Amino acid sequence: MTTVLVTGGAGYIGSHCCKAFAEAGWSVVTYDNLSRGWRDAVKWGPLVEGDIADAEVVATALRQYQPDVVAHFAAYAYVGESVEYPELYYRNNTFGTLVLIEEMLRAGINRLIFSSTCASYGIPVRTPIDEEHPQWPINPYGWSKFMIERIVEDFSRARGLNAVMLRYFNAAGCDPDGEIGEWHEPETHVVPLAIEAAIKPGRVFTVNGTDFDTRDGTAVRDYIHVSDLARAHVLGGEKLLRDQGVHVYNLGTGNGTTVKELVDAVCRVSGQSLPVAYGPRRAGDPPALVAAASKAERELGWVPRHSDIDTIIDTALAWYRSRM
């Protein structure tokens, strides 16, 4: 049986990937310091509590479980926070990953699935964005992930590290079975914020910018269901078991949804009107971020199955209502 150690496996995307690995027949071990994850989300195998920057704890976990693959999700992911506190992002995301990779290779483990981001592209010069698009991040979060990608490539050349690096676009939605979901404190993601405004009295959803060069003036984003993301990680892990080298894939649908269209979808699916306020653009916010995901389909056989906007909203809404 293939064993995977999942760093950050108690978080939103990590926990959904733990479920997908388990359903594929893999043995799953979660490694998480629970600073931004939830113990209740660890349902598929044991939990090792530890920080990725703690070399001794990482080394002990690797020796004990001897994973065939490490899937790495343990990162801070708030853009605004990264601007205010860049040291958190470079210390945890970049330095922590360096420690993890060093300990993996010392333990004779050379397969890594890395959770990367479309934020590494910065302001797009063309859309849809393919994997060859220039990378020039515009915030410390994006830079911290960009640096990790360079570290992975260098360790591949120097030490034989094999990796699949998956650049997500806008992860959204929740497990269709309702076993796990999206739960951040504070919540900054657009879909749960819109749902909260629709069904929680006193909440208002703010649209940041109405003068973009898009079909209705609001920003366009490529929303990808978290369960589709999770399946891509299983396929990426299977590729690592077959092939050597470093492989990079965008994960998106290739279709964009404007913020106004998202608001309409939340109203339609929830049956509730959505109080909306309009604010200025956020600094550095691109008009459109849409993936070219044909490489993932061609090489991994990955096609999104749950990523139409209504399904994303429906699964997120069901999760939110279950916690009310």
Which residues are marked as active site? 141
Number of other CB atoms surrounding residue 153 within 10 Å: 15
Alpha helices (H) along 107-225: 140-159, 190-199
Alpha helices (H) along the chain: 12-23, 55-65, 79-84, 86-89, 96-106, 140-159, 190-199, 226-242, 259-270, 294-300, 309-322
Q: Give me the amino acid identity at 134.
A: P
Q: What angle do CA 249, 255, 260 make, to 5 degrees?
A: 130
Beta carbons of 45 and 67 less than 8 angstroms apart: no
Three-state DSSP state, 216: coil
CA–CA gap between residue 119 and residue 135 (Å, rounded): 9
In the block, residue with structure tokens 């106004």: 260
Nearest to 304 by CA among 261, 245, 266, 252: 252
In the block, residue with structure tokens 């913020």: 259
CA–CA gap between residue 285 and residue 122 (Å, rounded): 9
Beta carbons of 301 and 231 less than 8 angstroms apart: no
Q: For residue 32, which phi and psi values (nearest 5 degrees)?
A: -155, 140
- Name the token pair of 263: 């608001």
Exposure string of 76-97, with b = 16+ CB inside 10 Å and e = fewer, is: bbbbebbeeeeebbbebbbbbb
